[in-house]
Amino acid sequence: MVLTKTADDISSMRVRGAGRIARTAALALQEYGASLECKTLAAFVDEMQNAAEILCKTRPTAVSLPNAVRYVMQGVRGAGTLEEAQQALNDRATTFIHDSQEAVQKIADIAARQFPDDAVIMTHCNSQVAIACIVRAHEQGRVREVYATEVRPRNQGYITIQMLSDAGVPVNFIVDSAARSFMPKVDLVITGTDAVTANGAVVNKIGTSQIALCAHEARKPFIVAAETYKFAPRTILGERIPIEERPAEEVTGSGRQLPPGVTVKNPAFDVTPPAYVDLIITEIGAFAPSYAPVVIRDHLGWDISEFQKEYA
């Protein structure tokens, strides 16, 4: 029950944003595991494996989801007894949720130092970690105002302006297509991300790459706030990040008739090339995008040979 509800909450975007998706999945695994009445380790691992697969299928782009699930499930798969598996599941889910929340605060501390005095900021979509950075800098008295985009078609910009307003940050709400017009007024752009690939490309809400391009043209820093579990290990093996295609109705609205033969494209995310990313700020430090493989290999400690076995 908890599992199907969580899966539905994530795919329908009642739970959204890469960090929140990851923490919600970890919690769902924890609660689901606690509700199972398996008598053997094998049965428990099987049930948990199925649950992990259901969760991972809910949204394809946010790599935080499989990374969180994999971290929690490693404890289950590596256990020698049923009790060990139950304990490891509980411990790992709790650790992941705690560490990911702490990562947001660490990133905010580092990012705030990047903000100039009296900073004018632009952000796109609704990123918990990007907002934490802006709010931290604002608490330090260094944010004059924010330009926040609307984020068609799902309008996550409304959530952003609410969160910033609640924190007392002055906000200008603009349509997505106004980003270039306002870029000259901006000191820096900061967004979150759903995935950072091995070459340092940033996958984030559709429209992010256009804003990064405008920032590049205007010579304004484009900064990405990313917990390390948003780095995508499988991209080292050549895998691409799937871009989620969402229903046409999100774009057209219900009741709108299109001429026959017209198709609607609604990709939820796009890819910003590393050349347009000035800095990726993680909980372990601020790096150039070229540092991505080091984060994946040395910090996350992903054993690439383990993945390679899946291709054999």
Please state the residue numbers annotated as binding site for substrate: 16-19, 59, 204-205, 230
To the query of whether residue 214 is one of the catalytic residues in this protein, the response is no
Q: Does 235 bind ligand RUB (CB under 6 A)?
A: no
Cα dihedral 229/51/24/292 (nearest 10): 10
Subset of 190-219 contacting ligand RUB (CB under 6 A): 191-194, 204-205
Binding mask 266-285 for ligand RUB (x = CB under 6 A): --x-----------------
The answer to whether 286 touches 279, Cβ cutoff 8 Å, is: yes
Check residue 136 for interaction with ligand RUB (CB under 6 A).
no
* CA nearest neighbour of 194 among 146, 156, 167, 238: 156
Contacts with ligand RUB: how many residues (CB under 6 A)?
A: 19
Closer Cβ to ligand RUB, 75 or 192, answer by number? 192
Q: Which is nearer to ligand RUB, 30 or 149 (CB)?
A: 149
CB of 247 to ligand RUB, least distance (A): 13
Question: Any contact of residue 148 with ligand RUB (CB under 6 A)?
Answer: no
194 is a catalytic site residue: yes
Least CB distance to ligand RUB at residue 130 (A): 6
Q: What are residue 204's DSSP bridge partners? A: 270
**CB 106 → ligand RUB: shortest distance, Å?**
13
Residue of 3, 7, 18, 103 interacting with ligand RUB (CB under 6 A): 18
- In whole angstroms, the minimum distance from the beta carbon of 298 to ligand RUB comes to 23
Tell me which of 24, 128, 197, 235 binds ligand RUB, using CB under 6 A.
128
Task: Give one word for 186, left, alpha or beta, with left for phi > 0 and alpha for psi -120 to 50.
Answer: beta
Residue 287: phi and psi, rounded to 5, are -135, 160
Known binding-site residues equal 16-19, 59, 204-205, 230
**Tokens describing residue 77:** 């798969």
User: 19, 153, 157, 200: which one contacts ligand RUB (CB under 6 A)?
Assistant: 19
Residue of 125, 133, 187, 214 marked active site: 125
- Does residue 74 come out as left (phi exceeding 0), alpha (psi in the -120 to 50 range) or beta? alpha
CB atoms within 10 A of CB 118: 11
Strands of the sheet containing 269-272, edge to edge, are: 195-196, 202-205, 269-272
151 vs 213, beta carbon nearer ligand RUB: 151
Q: Specify whether the CB–CB gap between 230 and 128 falls below 8 A.
A: no
State the catalytic residue, choosing from 133, 187, 194, 214. Answer: 194
Binding of residue 153 to ligand RUB (CB under 6 A): no
**160 is a site residue for ligand RUB (CB under 6 A):** no
Interacting stretch for ligand RUB, rule CB under 6 A, among 89-97, 127-135, 270-278, 283-291? Answer: 127-135
User: Where on the chain is the footprint of ligand RUB (CB under 6 A)?
Assistant: 16-20, 62, 125, 127-130, 156, 191-194, 204-205, 268
The catalytic residues are: 125, 194
